[in-house]
Each structure stands twice: as C-alpha cells, then as structure tokens.
Structure 1
Amino acid sequence: MVRTIRLLIAYDGGNYCGWQRQKQGEATIQGEMERRLALLCQEEITLHGAGRTDTGVHAQGMVAHFQTSARTPVTAFFKGLNSLLPPDIRILGAEEAPPDFHSRFDAQGKTYRYDFFTGPLQAPWSRLYRAHFPGPFDPDRLRLALNCLQGTHDFSSFERTGTRDKTLTTGRGAVRTLHDLSCSPSPGGEACWSIRITGDGFLRQMVRILSGTLIEIGQGKRDDSEMERILEARDRRMAGLTAPACGLYLERLYYPKPLFQEFPNPCFLPS
C-alpha cells in the first residue's frame, strides 16, 4: 500500500543552493532530504515542498510530502530522519496524510519574514541571518506604502526579470493577493527590524524586492508615495533593490485544516 507522509521542516539555507534539487549536483534541501529518505525507505523518494526557497533563504515552517510503499513507522521520519540529516536541517513534525494531500497545491497562503539591521556595525555572528542596511530608519514612513500593497494587484514590478514566460495566457500571471503586511522591531537589540508579508502566493524574489523597496522608503531614499506608481508601472526597473537572501525566512504556511496537531510549539504550525 502506498502511503503519503507529511513533514514539517526547518532549515538554515546558508549552505544550500535553495530548496529545489539541481541538475549540476549542488547541495539543496530537497536533494539532501531525498537521499536520507531513500535510506530509510529503501526506495527512491521524491519530496514535494510547498514552495521553492532560493539560495541562502531559511525556513521555520516548510511543509513537504512524499509517497512510499515502505512500512517504516512515522516516528522514523522524525527521530530517525533527524539523526541522518545534517544539523542545519531539522524535521519538526511527521504524520500520515490523506492520499490526495499535496503540500503545494493545498496551501492557501504563506507568511515570509525579512530581518534586517540598520545600525552602523553589525555583529559578525548575525551576518548570515539578518541583512545589514546601515542608516537612519523610520518604520512610520512605511504606513502609506504598506497600505498600498495590501489587496490584489499585479506585482510585475516586484518580480525577478526573466523568471516567467509572459506570453502565456493561462494562469494568473503576476496577480497576487497580500492579506497582511507589517514592519516592527525584532529581537536582537536596537535597530533590528522585521518585515512580515502574508499572501496567497509570491513571485520569484518578490518578497526580497518588496523588502528592499520598503527599506529604501524607511531610510528616506524614496518617497512614501512612490509605491502606487511602482505597482502601476508593472516594470521591475521602477522598484528598489533585491534585498539579500540571508534575511529572508519562510515563516508559516496556511492550509484549510490544522496540520501536525501533536507538535508542541504552535509558533511553527500552519493554521
């Protein structure tokens, strides 16, 4: 009998070329996990993630699933898999899922967090987990821009150039809906900030480009009224810089029903 196993995963993306397996053989989260799962199941495994994080991006709540005919107990996909994986990838929860569950297609939304530091000198141990944007920063300058971004828009101006075939007439193109956006102080000391963006989906590097543009506004390098004009332009050249990958975290995924109900720390749980 074929089983569907669902995993909740956290990882430090600093040593990996993103989530997706690469033809060139570079280390990826998917590739590392598939190799260990093959050892546990004694068969080739294809792991499907809820999304594809880029090189250097981290995750606190990635959801993935795979199918196997092995009778391996579910506990082995938690304790056993963690014993095989490198220490920068950890399984937070594992459970049997319905046969038709799909981690990507069933997801209704995601929350990404972008962490950055605006002080003059950044501690070296935080450089891989928080981007450095030295200079004055006022989160109040972002209010108009954050309100402008909320809702359903064409986010072509915030999409990495050349990552989507724009001649296609099917699908939703660059239209996405953002439900909630905020910028607030974050743990780590003075001048540490976090931008959080929740939406029904994201384009390639969309969160990093949005974050880079918002940080420029917060530092007074752009006027807070520019966001509407940038959105309407549907032109990547109008938006700000692509913020470094090190500050980006896939924080949470949302599904129609709660997952991993036995997991003791709800801050990681989709809801």
Structure 2
Amino acid sequence: MLVGAAFTFVLALALWGTVSTAITDPAPESAEHVFHLHPKDAELSSAGFFGKFDNRQVQRGFQVFKEVCAACHSLKYVAFRDLAEIGYSEAEVKAIAGQWVIEQPSVNPDTGEAATRKNVASDRFPSPFANEVAARAANNNALPPDLSLIAKARHDGANYVYSLVGPDGYRPQPAALVKEFPGAKTPPGLHYNPYFANLNIAMPPPLTADGQVTYTDGTKATRDQMSKDVSAFLTWTAEPKLESRHGAGLAAVIFIAIFCFLAWGAYQNVWRDVKH
C-alpha cells in the first residue's frame, strides 16, 4: 500500500507540474496552427451514412488520375479489372490495361534479360518509377505517395484531397504569415498550401488550368470539377466496398429494431398475468 501510495503521489505531482507549466508558460503558437485550414466539403455523393458512388463522376476522376496524377503517383493496391465496379465493360477494361503508358516488368524467356510486357486486366496499376531512388531523383528528393488508400490515410480524406489540389489549395504565401513567423517562409522548391499539414508541399500544382482534361462525357472540366472528380475516384480506390458496407449497416439496424420490438412483445406476453 505504501509503494502504491508513493507511486500515485509521484504521478499526481508530475501531472500538476505539467498542468501548471502549460498554464503559466504555454507553448507559442506555430505557423501551422494559425494558418492551417480545415478541408472544404467536396459534397460527394458517397459521403454520409447512405452515400453511394456516382459512377460517372468516379470515371471522370479516373480520367484525371490517368492523365495527370499517374505521371508521379502509383496505385499499387488497385487492379485494372477493379474498374468494372465503376461501370467499365470487360472490353473497356482490357483496352485501358493494354493502352496504359507504363508496362509491367517482365523477363524475356529466351534470353533471361529484363523486359516489359503489356498490362492485362488482372495486373495492378504499375508504378511510374522503377524504385524509390528513381522516384526521389525525379521529384527533387520527395517521394510521391501511393494514392490507393490516400483518402483513408488522411483525416477527412475525400475533402482533404479536394481542397489540396483544388483551385483554393495552392496560393501565394500570406504576407501576414511571414511577418508573424519569419522563419516559416516557404523554402525554395516547395509550394505553399494551407491544407497541407506543414503548409509547404513538394508537389507542384497538379491542376493548373480549366480544360486540362477533356472529359469524354462532355462535362466542363473546371479546376474545381476536376478536383472533386479525382477526390471521388480516390475515395473509391480507398474503400471500393463502401456501398456494400452501408447496405449491411442499414440491414443490421433494421434487424436490431425488429428484434427489439419482438423481444418487447415477448416480454409483455410472458409477464402479462404477473401482478406488480
């Protein structure tokens, strides 16, 4: 008991010291704390308890990924055949795989030397770089992250992606930031983005102008529209079974509600003759 009491006393003393220091000498605010912005709402159809994917939008997002993002980012957990889940036919999936710019690494069976081959539907999306060293060498020593699960790996991921690459993401660094935090000036080679964790990101603006992508369905490709669409696509890659999960959850809630009503009815029937 004495040992336990002593241990508790030391913990209480340490806690009191931490709290009193935080009150009397609070840590100074950082530039990230003051100027970091919370993501804007992308208003995707997949959001919410009953959200469902808009396949046309997800397909447009795939087109943005293919023509813009795939030059630097991988999608290693997604196979070409998975595209059938967002409305592409089997023939279209095979055509997309076969026409993909980056081919699969292979070995020449005759010589045993390294070679490449066309992608097939069962292949996963290949990386644009041979390895991490090559990726860093091509991106000023920054490693482009794989985007398969980016919408799950970041807080409020879908809105984060939309805000980060959208028209309000990349902007000139505010003069007030440099004035208040002189040491927080954006270093050369980085880009100011208030939605990024430390405000300065190595990735150049990916969506620079309206019409950068020509949508096959005729939708006007504004920067805002493209950022929403690629956000929808990366939400799907991160959680392709979202609709099934929502359906299962709704069915479970309905089942529990019915079960509770039946249990209440059984209780009333069993105890109806018992006087309180």
Q: Which has the higher helix share?
A: 2
Give the TM-score normalised by the residue count of structure 1: 0.21
Give the TM-score normalised by the residue count of structure 2: 0.20
Q: Which has the higher strand share?
A: 1
Structure number with larger C-alpha Rg: 2
